[in-house]
């Protein structure tokens, strides 16, 4: 997650988005219709746009079918938790040490096994209930990948902290950390006019100006709608604009010593993306209100990763 702080300094023109955005979460033009006002869903359920007919939301919200726990979903939850644990550990250490003996890298590396075990324990029930268990050395490979994440974040964070300590005659590690790595990971948003479950909590907000979400596994272009949804929620909750967002997309190739963030860019959450999300949101809420099955897609081309693939296409579809 601290990778985003470096990316921010290398992304020009971030502040130029505001003037071109007119659809804001605190503007009634973005609010759901009054007849849909009693329906609330999690942000991800409304932002996920993999099914062309949105039958997935019908099956889940109307028919009451549940998404089966999978190995990939378990890994995603653990990765999310690891990044938040890393940030909290770094923040606590930096605020408690002095410049003369600050060694964040050594401290974080000494804590890595505990951080990883803590994240895995939190989602142990999800792992135990997965229908398809990991095969061969997948568990060991995932554990090595988690250590790779911790080490990379330790290198980034400690290098910047050490640079500032070396550069400043009167250095306060806690203040340096809070200024450069200004992440809020528990900002609870209330956005009843957007149709979101209350509270809605984004993975992080950076410097009160960039909304963030952590994703792993296969990349999908519709991930940006999650950012748009949280931006609208932030604007309704605070009355302040949220112009930009970033998906921290985490890949863990065995061919590299560090995690890969190929798709991670800071994006302007333009009116184009906001209109697209609002159309998707309203269509999904209308399907739930009507309670009518929209039917499955014409073919299974885009259905490979869907949790309800078997419901629509059977075991061999």
**Separation of alpha carbons 223 and 228, rounded Å:** 9
**Separation of alpha carbons 299 and 257, rounded Å:** 40
Residue 251 lies in a domain: yes
φ, ψ dihedrals at 153, nearest 5°: -65, -35
- What pLDDT, on a 0 to 100 scale, did the predictor assign at position 253? 92
DSSP 8-class letter at 172: -
249: left (phi over 0), alpha (psi -120 to 50) or beta: beta
Contact 242, 234 (CB under 8 A): yes
Question: HSE on the CB side for 95, CA within 13 Å?
Answer: 9
Residue 89 lies in a domain: yes
Contact 189, 201 (CB under 8 A): yes
DSSP 8-class letter at 246: E
**Separation of alpha carbons 198 and 41, rounded Å:** 9
- What pLDDT, on a 0 to 100 scale, did the predictor assign at position 121? 93
Name the pTM for this structure.
Answer: 0.93
Contact 82, 116 (CB under 8 A): yes
- What pLDDT, on a 0 to 100 scale, did the predictor assign at position 129? 84
Domain of residue 121 covers: 3-299
Q: Flag residues of the chain having pLDDT under 50.
A: none
Residue 315 lies in a domain: no
**Separation of alpha carbons 4 and 155, rounded Å:** 14
DSSP 8-class letter at 60: I
- What pLDDT, on a 0 to 100 scale, did the predictor assign at position 17? 56
| Positive or negative: CA dihedral 130, 86, 114, 152 | positive
CA–CA–CA angle 87, 90, 91 (5° rounding): 80
Distance between first and last Cα of the chain: 38
Residue 287 lies in a domain: yes
- What pLDDT, on a 0 to 100 scale, did the predictor assign at position 317? 52
Count CB-CB contacts under 10 A for residue 45: 18
54: left (phi over 0), alpha (psi -120 to 50) or beta: left
**Separation of alpha carbons 312 and 317, rounded Å:** 8
Residue written as token pair 């640079």 = 163
Helix intervals (H) in 42-137: 43-47, 55-57, 71-96, 104-122, 124-128
Residue 221 lies in a domain: yes
- What pLDDT, on a 0 to 100 scale, did the predictor assign at position 15? 58
Residue 314 lies in a domain: no
Contact 86, 267 (CB under 8 A): no
- What pLDDT, on a 0 to 100 scale, did the predictor assign at position 306? 81
Count of domains for the chain:
1
């Amino acid at each position: 997650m601290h990778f985003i702080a470096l990316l921010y300094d290398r992304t020009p023109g971030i502040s130029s988005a505001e003037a071109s955005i007119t659809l804001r979460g605190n503007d009634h033009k973005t609010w759901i219709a009054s007849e849909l006002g009693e329906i609330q869903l999690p942000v991800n359920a409304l932002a996920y746009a993999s099914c062309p007919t949105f039958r997935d939301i019908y099956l889940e919200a109307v028919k009451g079918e549940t998404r089966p726990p999978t190995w990939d979903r378990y890994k995603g939850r653990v990765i999310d938790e690891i990044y938040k644990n890393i940030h909290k550990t770094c923040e606590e250490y930096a605020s408690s040490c002095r410049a003369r003996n600050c060694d964040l890298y050594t401290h974080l590396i000494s804590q890595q096994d505990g951080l990883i075990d803590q994240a895995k324990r939190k989602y142990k029930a999800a792992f135990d209930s997965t229908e398809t268990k990991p095969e061969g050395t997948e568990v060991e490979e995932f554990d090595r990948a988690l250590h790779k994440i911790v080490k990379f974040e330790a290198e980034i964070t400690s290098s910047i902290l050490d640079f500032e300590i070396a550069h400043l005659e009167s250095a306060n590690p806690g203040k340096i950390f809070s200024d450069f790595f200004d992440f809020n990971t528990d900002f609870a948003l209330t956005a009843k006019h957007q149709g979101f479950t209350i509270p809605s909590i984004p993975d992080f907000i950076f410097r009160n100006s960039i909304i963030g979400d952590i994703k792993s596994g296969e990349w999908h272009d519709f991930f940006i709608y999650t950012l748009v949804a949280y931006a609208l929620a932030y604007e309704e909750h605070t009355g302040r604009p949220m112009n930009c967002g970033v998906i921290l997309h985490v890949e863990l190739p065995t061919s590299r010593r560090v995690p890969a963030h190929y798709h991670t860019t800071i994006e302007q959450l333009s009116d184009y993306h906001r209109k697209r999300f609002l159309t998707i949101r309203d269509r999904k809420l209308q399907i739930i209100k009507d309670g009518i099955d929209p039917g499955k897609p014409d073919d299974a081309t885009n259905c490979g990763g869907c949790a309800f693939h078997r419901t629509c296409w059977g075991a061999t579809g």
